[in-house]
Amino acid sequence: MLHSIVDVDARPEYRLWLQFEDGVEGVIDLSDLVGRGVFAAWTDLAVFQAVTIDLESGTVAWPHGIDLAPDTLYQELAGIKTG
């Protein structure tokens, strides 16, 4: 099932508050990604804080072509374990 993000807010220490279309919401810690691969751009905190919602894909996106799969974020927030 595909889940769309309807609201996002950058929080301190590389955390995001997310809300999905079905009301699931919460904060996800993304600090472990900072400096790795495409996420090296986040070492400039202003880039991380420039998070938006990509209306076409329903996920979060940043400058430099960075985005994250909405279903992975949903599973983490909802506490869904994958095999």
For position 70, which CATH number holds?
Answer: 3.30.2020.10
Res 20: pLDDT = 95
Closest to 41 (Cα-Cα) out of 15, 62, 18: 62
Number of domains present in the structure of the chain: 1
Spans in the chain with pLDDT lower than 70: 1, 81-83
- Is the residue at 83 inside a domain? no
Q: Which phi and psi (to 5°) does residue 21 adopt? A: -60, -25
pLDDT of residue 26: 96
Q: Is 53 part of a structural domain of the chain?
A: yes
Domain coverage including residue 24: 5-78
The whole-model pTM stands at 0.87
| Residue 44 placed within a domain | yes
Q: Does any domain span residue 72?
A: yes
